[in-house]
Structure formats: structure tokens, C-alpha cells
A and B are shown apart, each in its own frame.
Chain A
């Protein structure tokens, strides 16, 4: 079956760095997304990786290894507003989007 795994919850300190991991098992692969979702709000797009390597966007970076079925989202210089859930999702070969359950990130002062 198809599956995306990510930790349920993580805690980090304001100003620090945190890495949220995501592993995927899909029938084929056509790219992986990271979304941010604040409580009670809709998800907002953060990043899209289709090739191996690191994509950097300001304080956020996303990494992909297709051979390992693995991605991570790296958040630097954490701010309180980064407290949110982070969702990993991947397109399979049938262009169905498979979603992880999300990682709730708690930022402490």
C-alpha cells in the first residue's frame, strides 16, 4: 500500500533549528510537497521537490532523496509563529496525492 510517515509531534526552542522528516512509499513518484497548517486554518504551500537535493527558501529548506524515499523540512531561526502542523504529501505515478498525517511543531520560548 501507499504510505507517508512523519512524526506526530516535535518540540523546539525559539531561535533554534528543527528538522522534520518524512518517508514515503508510493507506487511511482512525481514530486513531494511540504505544507504548513496553523490550527484552524487551511494548509499553505511551502515547498515542492521533484529532484534529489536541497531547495532553500529563506528560513525554510526542503530536501529529497528519491532512492531512499525520504524528505525533510528544515526550519532555521525558529519563531513562535512557526508553531503549526507541517504536512508532507507526494504525487504517485497515477497522479494521486498521498498525504501524511502531519507533524505538530511546538515552539517554546
Chain B
């Protein structure tokens, strides 16, 4: 069966510090991978998605970046965090066909102080 994990689950970082969130998927190959951010009481904002290794599409201009160094690994990074980067970050995957449901990781709650 397929599983998705992301870490860390919780982190508190000072403004201007770097960020790295990791996500891995097991039990499937060539998944579509997604990073979302959810502000408190709000909907999901798509940040990045990837249809293959090294293929990253950015949906929102910001100080975040994403990389996909391996087929089932997706990394969200920042060189310098802003206060506005605080939120709940969710990694998700789906099969490579066009439609079908997304499966989410456990989420990472980031607080920037």
C-alpha cells in the first residue's frame, strides 16, 4: 500500500532563518507531488507541484522553493523565512493520471517568530 510521510511535524523558526521540509512517498512510482500551505481557518493554497524528477511548477511567487531530487521525494525550502511564511504545510501525492484524489501527508506546522 502507498504511504506518504512528511517531517518535521512542528517547528518554530526565527525570521531570516532557513527552512527545509521533506516529504517521501512509498509504494508507488512516478507520483504527482504537491506542496500546499494552509493559513489558520483558510483553504489550501497550492505552492508547488511536480510531475517528475526535476520538474517543478510554482503557483505563487514567494521566497520558497521546491526540489524533487528523487522520484518519491519532494522538498520545500527557504533561505530566509518571513513572518508571513507561518502556516500549516501539507505535502500530497496522486497517481499520474489527470484526475483522482490527492493523498496528504501528516502536515508540518511552521511558526515564524
A-B contact count (CB 8 A): 43
- For the residues of A in contact with B, the DSSP-based class is loop
Type the 1/0 row for A54-90, where 1 means its CB is closer than 8 Å to any CB of B.
Answer: 0000000000000000000000000000000001010
Interface residues on A, range: 20 to 34
Most chain B C-beta atoms within 10 Å of own C-beta, residue among A33, A44, A95, A99: A99
Which residues does chain A contribute within 8 Å of B98, judged by CB atoms? 30, 91, 95
Across the interface, name the chain A residue whose C-beta is closest to B10.
A40
Nearest-neighbour CB distance to chain B for A49, whole angstroms, equals 11
A101 contacts chain B at the CB level, 8 A cutoff: yes
Measured CA separation A43–B100 after assembly (Å): 15
Which residues does chain A contribute within 8 Å of B2, judged by CB atoms? none
Measured CA separation A48–B100 after assembly (Å): 8
